[in-house]
Structure 1
Amino acid sequence: YYSHKPNGSPAYFKYPGLKPTGPLPASVDFPLYPQKEPDKFRAVIFADPQPRDNKEVEFVGHDVIEELIGVDAAFGVSLGDIAFDNLNTFATLNQKIALIGIPWYNVIGNHDLNQDSPDDQRSDETFEATYGPNYYSFDYGPTHFMVLDDMKWVAPAPGAAKGFFLGEFGKTQLEWIKNDLAQIPRNQMVVLMMHVPLVDEEGKFSPTGNRVTDRRDLYRLIEKRPFCLSISGHTHYQEHKFISSADGWEGPEKHHHVVNVTVSGSWWSGLPDEKGIPHTTMRDGAPNGYSFLNFDGNKYSIDFKAARRPAEHQMNIYAPDEVLAAETGKVEVVVNVFGGSEKSKVEMKVGAGEWTPLRHEPRIDPYYALLKERETVMLGAKKRLDPVLGYALPVAVPSAHLWVTNLPLNLPLGTHNIQIRTVDTFGRTYTDQRVVRVVETLAVPKAAPAVEAKPVL
């Protein structure tokens, strides 16, 4: 690629941008090399690695990159918020990601903008100096990928301390999208990759909602394509959205938009684990991690991958340890299927009983609520526990992938195995289980005896 900036970026930028390129050259030449690309392949999808500093770059390395080194994938993509306003972390994070050993593409996010910029046009020049153009397209095998910039930077008004961003493609980029897609057959798979989701429920992420303001102009360009997927990050929760006429979509089928799991989870917050890495559970109760996008011609599927967990870890099952025999039918079982959607099917079986369906019921994840409650006892009103214990978890949001049911009536005394089975929108089945004990009376925990503090030698 070639970035044409005759005068370069402003010299006063805290994070350097592009150096002066001088006049436009007579030609811009680059080589092309033949490469065999199969119809069947997969890509690694990161959203929001978002390290504040190099210490958190190390979190990214230990939490997700180490397990991906040598992965069998065609390429990877970061869906924006590669940094967390500290653009010096681009270089150290790039060195970590390079160890994975596959080509890597990058989408610009709001925390990747140069906030010294006086306008939107120059706000991406530090990003461009590191990663190249802010929007472009490429093909791999039979699939057409479009890296999009839905960030509009609004510089601070006179007297204002900070600027802000809007989710917007803008007329110039939309014209480019139109021209690019004009060269792509309608029966070819197209994947749109961006940072801010096309749609987001008002008040779920911010008081005014976070969405792309000119998304309906994009809809007009893609809604007649039978094979089109879009994917974003930004919100720090996982969700499959199926965009319909309720949002102005005019296509014959709903459009599938994926809000991807984030590498940083809840912004690298929460208590550290035994390796010193924050548990950083996302605020919908799902673990932090990344996705695999799998392609086979015009077909695709998506795998949720929790950081440092087996690939089979696809859900959490919430039920109390002990249940009174007289109240089993009143006790809820709540299942968080991390990659679940409104098209998922979730069922439960207790012991040798029958499989029964659960109802889809978005609400606050109970495990996350308990985490937040325990933390609040330790933290009070502070945002940060302390330099050792890390940042406070953010406020929970209703999880779009919770299913609920009740235990069967009249379970006999003893220990029972709760089995959960889910079939996702791609027809794949996952299972998990949790043990519960039915008792006549609940055990009352005894107060811990006082222990005299002694120095550790």
Structure 2
Amino acid sequence: MSHGKTSQRYFIGLVLFIAGFHPANLSRAESKPTARGYVFEDLNRNGVRDQGERGLPRIIVSNQREVTVTKKDGSWELPASDDTIFFVVKPSGWMTPVNHHNLPRFYYIHKPKGSPNLKFEGVKPTGPLPASIDFPLHRQTEPRKFQAIFFGDPQPRDQKELDYIARDVVEELIGTKAKFGVTLGDILFDDLSLFERNNAIIGQIGIPWYNVIGNHDLNFDGSDDRTSDETFHRHFGPNYFAYEYGPVVFVALDNVKWNGAKPKGTGTYTSWLGEEQLGFLKALLPRVPKKKLILFMMHIPIYQTQDREELFRLIEDRPYTMSISGHTHWHGHRFLGEKEGWKGEKPHHHVINVTVSGSWWSGAPDESGIPHAMMSDGGPNGYTIFNFDREKAVIDFKAARRPANYRMSVFAPDEVTSDSGSSNFVYVNVFNGSEKSKVRMRVGRTGEWITLKKVLEQ
């Protein structure tokens, strides 16, 4: 979606003399300023390009529209507007700095006048473009096989629900072997003043944590989509970006378009990518080898996004793509085909992620005072652990504060009489199940295995 400000022309007492007018002069006057900088190896990890710290070639840098690659000396340049976020695409085997809450710092925000006056604070004025915008990287080992954690919709309304997150999921994840985590939007529930406290809690997990924007993370008093992400920018940087880890490429998308505040009411949103974001993808994807798996991360399921087919046309010829979202408050798998506008040789696998909040932290409290928070599909709240191995990914559903092998619930009669016949039903809710799942049961150790029939699909 488009977040750039429309360039304007100001004519103040301008007199053009025919003899001295040249179109080329006007073109130069209207051209956008250029941002320049370096991507460098930060040997001492102080975030500053010191003498002896070499520039890194062939690293991707973007302004959220155009994409460039650093030269041999690590230098880059891109057009700039008065509302631009520059970022480096973290390459495999390298890492950006993280802040005190383990939020990756891979970007530079250029908003000379800062964000507009909004209920929740945005970006402070950044002033003129620096002479050099430099991105530090340091080496790190990234294995072929690794794990990553995905949160859907933690969505706390207040400090009480932030405490639920800390006790229900964060506590058990401290010390995880996962390499990083991602929250797939609805980080909060409208009160954006809670970002700092939320980030402090998630930061306790101890791994880098990326964030995707959701419809409850917007500045609802923003006049349009361009001004709806200002508080998100302040805390997390760009609302869409990309990075590599090991053999996998991760692309975070913003598919929530804010249609503007209304005098009476909160306004509305649409699921939309927009021309500017698609332009970024058109520039980025040719630089990604087709042998690599790309995971597209977003908030609203891709099959609900209005301009999804423009994205599909860019990736249908790739053998290894997946996508993941939140938003629905139930967990599931979709294999997209012609019905959804996908024309690839094989269906596109889209995951709707289990939510941390279940159904918005509803339900009776358990013995620890935390709501049962069951999702609308009857599954428990929790998160997923993705197990990556080159172009493959195996997904584990992890219920909050439950054993790792808690993967289904079974509903059966307490008693069965000999004359009840076929009136007895056994229902199994397989939390991570899909249309490809096969479920069998038997009665006792010697009973005949029975294949269960699928009876419900979200």
**Structure 1 counterpart of 2:449:** 355
Alpha-carbon distance between aligned partners in 2 of 1:61 and 1:143, rounded to the nearest angstrom: 29
Is this contact kept in 1: 2:170–2:202, CA < 8 A? yes
Work out whether 1:133 is the aligned partner of 2:238.
yes
- Deviations, residues 319-352 of structure 1 (Å, cap 9, x unaligned): 1212232114211111000000000110011111
Aligned partners of 2:355 and 2:383 also within 8 Å: yes
Q: For 1:359, what is the secondary structure of its paired residue?
A: coil
CA distance in 1 between partners of 2:175 and 2:246 (Å): 21
1:298 — aligned with what? Answer: 391
SS at match of 1:190: strand
Contact 2:224 / 2:261 at 8 angstroms: preserved in 1?
A: no
Partner in structure 2 of residue 289 of structure 1:
382
Measure, in 1, the Cα distance between the counterparts of 2:131 and 2:301: 39
Partner of 2:305: 212
Unpaired runs of 5+ residues, structure 1, are: 200-210, 363-398, 401-457
Matches within 5 A, 1:319-334: 319-334=412-427
Contact 2:387–2:395, Cα closer than 8 Å, also in 1: yes
In structure 1, what is the equivalent of residue 216 of structure 2? 111
Is there any run of 5+ residues in structure 2 with no aligned partner, and where?
Answer: 1-106
* TM alignment of 1:354-373, pairs within 5 A: 354-362=448-456
Q: What is residue 275 of structure 1 aligned with on the other side?
A: 368
Alignment of 1:2-41 (within 5 A): 2-11=108-117, 13-41=118-146
CA distance in 1, matches of 2:243, 2:403: 32
**Conserved? CA contact 2:330–2:376, under 8 Å:** yes
Q: Deviations over 1:155-201 (max 9, x none)?
A: 134x43221111111010011011111100111110100000012xx
Question: 1:264 corresponds to which residue?
Answer: 357
Kindly indicate whether the alpha-carbon contact (under 8 Å) linking 2:221 and 2:261 is maintained by their aligned counterparts in 1.
Answer: no
- The 2-side partners of 1:220 and 1:43 are apart by 28
Secondary structure of 1:70 counterpart: coil
Q: In 2, distance between residues paired with 1:249 and 1:151?
A: 21
Q: Secondary structure at the match of 2:385?
A: strand
> Per-residue deviation at 1:30?
2.1
Q: CA deviation at 1:356?
A: 1.4
In 2, Cα distance between equivalents of 1:268 and 1:55: 10
Cα distance in 1 for partners of 2:172, 2:336 equals: 34
User: 1-side partners of 2:314 and 2:190: how far apart?
Assistant: 33
Aligned length: 351
| Cα deviation, residue 144, structure 1 | 0.5
CA contact (8 A) 2:243 2:251 kept: yes
Q: Does 1:308 align with 2:382?
A: no
Residue 165 (structure 2) aligns with: 60
Aligned residue for 1:48?
A: 153
Amino acid at match of 2:314: L
What secondary structure does 1:305 align onto? strand
The one-letter code sitting in structure 1 at the alignment partner of 2:119 is: K
Q: CA deviation at 1:360?
A: 1.1
Instruction: Say if 2:330 is the partner of 1:237.
Output: yes
1:223 to 316, 334, 337: 316
- State the match for 2:438 in structure 1: 345
- CA distance in structure 2 between the aligned counterparts of 1:240 and 1:187, rounded to whole angstroms: 23
Residues 414-444 of structure 1 show CA distances to partners (whole Å, capped at 9, x for unaligned) of xxxxxxxxxxxxxxxxxxxxxxxxxxxxxxx
Asked if the contact 2:383–2:400 (Cα under 8 Å) also holds between the matched residues in 1, the reply is yes
Amino acid of the structure 2 residue aligned with 1:165: Y
- CA deviation profile, 1:187-228 (whole Å, cap 9, x unmatched): 1110100000012xxxxxxxxxxx111111111011111111
Task: After TM superposition, give the deviation of residue 27 of structure 1 in Å.
Answer: 2.0
Distance in structure 1 (CA, Å) of the matches to 2:434 and 2:153? 21
Q: 1:34: how far off?
A: 1.1
Residue aligning to 1:166: 270
User: CA RMSD, aligned part only?
Assistant: 1.0
State the SS of the aligned residue for 2:287. Answer: coil
2:195, 2:242 → 1: CA distance? 22
1:259 Cα offset (Å): 0.2
1: distance between equivalents of 2:328 and 2:268? 16
What amino acid sits opposite 1:100 in the alignment?
Answer: I
Pick the aligned partner of 2:343 from 244, 250, 253: 250
Distance (whole Å) between structure 2 residues aligned to residue 271 and residue 244 of structure 1: 40
- The alignment partner of 1:111 has SS state of coil
Normalization by structure 1: what TM-score? Answer: 0.76
Deviates further, 162-171 or 24-33: 24-33
d(CA) in 2 for partners of 1:161 and 1:250? Answer: 40
1:367-386 matches, cutoff 5 A: none
| Structure 2 SS opposite 1:112 | coil
- Once the two structures are superposed, residues 239-285 of structure 1 have per-residue CA deviations (whole angstroms, 9 ceiling, x without a partner) of 10000111111100000000000000000001111111110100100
SS of the aligned residue for 1:44 comes to strand
Q: Give 1:90 deviation, angstroms.
A: 1.0
Secondary structure, counterpart of 2:434 in structure 1: coil
1:73 alignment counterpart: 178
Identity of aligned residues (%): 55
Counterpart secondary structure, 1:182: helix
Cross-structure match for 1:204 = none
Please tell me whether residue 102 in structure 1 is matched to residue 207 in structure 2.
yes
Alpha-carbon deviation of 1:361? 1.3
1: CA distance, partners of 2:137 / 2:173? 28
Aligned to 2:283: 179
